[in-house]
Structure 1
């Protein structure tokens, strides 16, 4: 029997950004806001969701990640503003956005997609929208009711941080939430 793993590639975030996201969560958490918060230690910047794949594919994926990372220099980002999918006025996913050198982030993400395509993995069809997921809801939530449409949230920002590595993570879904195991780390150039 084949062993399959649920995989994705993400850029880890430093402790200072994790604290910023935790403080954001604390500020946003209000009675009546019926959402399920993502544990802050599980928050990351996803570059590519691979999905369920045979465990023997881990090494070839790691090699392609190394090639993508090595072709890109490190860069700086900022966690900024609060948003929602499909929109903040009526959301099911609450997130903090990404600002800074987003062109380099998009170039890195396209490099990862291109390298994995050589292994037969399909490109993501949706436009890349970098973000940090804070919470999910079973039903749409009215962001205006909880003050999330206030203009001050657009200025809400972390300190700048460097993206200098990407990680291959395995996700195990449990009733208590997802648990992640790091399988490989690839370092960006410079």
Structure 2
């Protein structure tokens, strides 16, 4: 099972982003239900005990809820294709949450993240030959700004391949304040 940790987007923000689909020909648009803000790619997990260790580690996350907004269009160059993105406004709270996820996953035996954290929502993929069109797309969407979204949980997703496309299935949510009764020594 191929796993990653992300912030699921509220339906209204996904709908707003979906309106940008089709605004550049030749793009392989990401389905709106797959829009998310990636916090940490975990990778392929084949052993049940590893999944349980990851679940336990993520259940120990602690943070206070915060708001964040999506703002500005951008391009990310890739090895096989480039991507159209909407970036996320960086906040100290978002960076702290991502750093905490990185630490606890390393302690749970996951390899360090391969990429530096650059929060964004991927809207679509295009070929390098379309960069001129992509630059125009970015310029026409560069003033985009979403309403603030409330971050009170993170989601562990599984990435499945179906009919040549990825489908992201939520496997677990980890709330900022889980409703777990305190043990006597913690009271």
1:113 to 102, 105, 111: 102
Query: What residue number does 2:75 align with?
Result: 84
* 3-state secondary structure, aligned to 2:101: helix
Runs of 4+ in 1 over 3 A off after TM superposition: 143-146
Q: How many residues align?
A: 175
- 2:170 corresponds to 1:182: yes
Shift of 1:43: 0.8
- 2:141 corresponds to 1:170: no
Mapped to 2, the partners of 1:166 and 1:117 lie a distance apart of 17
- Larger proportion of strand: 1
Shift of 1:186: 0.2
1:130 to 119, 123, 134: 119
For 1:114-171, what per-residue CA distance to the aligned partner results, in whole angstroms no more than 9, with x for missing partners? 0011121112142200000000124442245762243x63321111111111111111
Mapped to 2, the partners of 1:62 and 1:171 lie a distance apart of 16
Unaligned 5+ segments in structure 2 are 179-187
Mapped to 2, the partners of 1:182 and 1:139 lie a distance apart of 32
Mapped to 1, the partners of 2:162 and 2:36 lie a distance apart of 18
**TM-score using structure 2 length:** 0.84
1:53 to 22, 45, 62: 45
**TM-score using structure 1 length:** 0.83
Mapped to 2, the partners of 1:145 and 1:72 lie a distance apart of 37
For 1:32-66, what per-residue CA distance to the aligned partner results, in whole angstroms no more than 9, with x for missing partners? x3210000011111111111112412222111112
1:96 to 86, 108, 113: 86
Query: What residue number does 1:74 align with?
Result: 65
2:27 to 27, 35, 39: 35
* 3-state secondary structure, aligned to 1:155: coil
* 3-state secondary structure, aligned to 1:162: strand
Mapped to 2, the partners of 1:172 and 1:149 lie a distance apart of 29
Shift of 1:179: 1.5
Shift of 1:104: 0.9
Query: What residue number does 2:183 align with?
Result: none
Unaligned 5+ segments in structure 1 are none
Mapped to 2, the partners of 1:149 and 1:8 lie a distance apart of 27
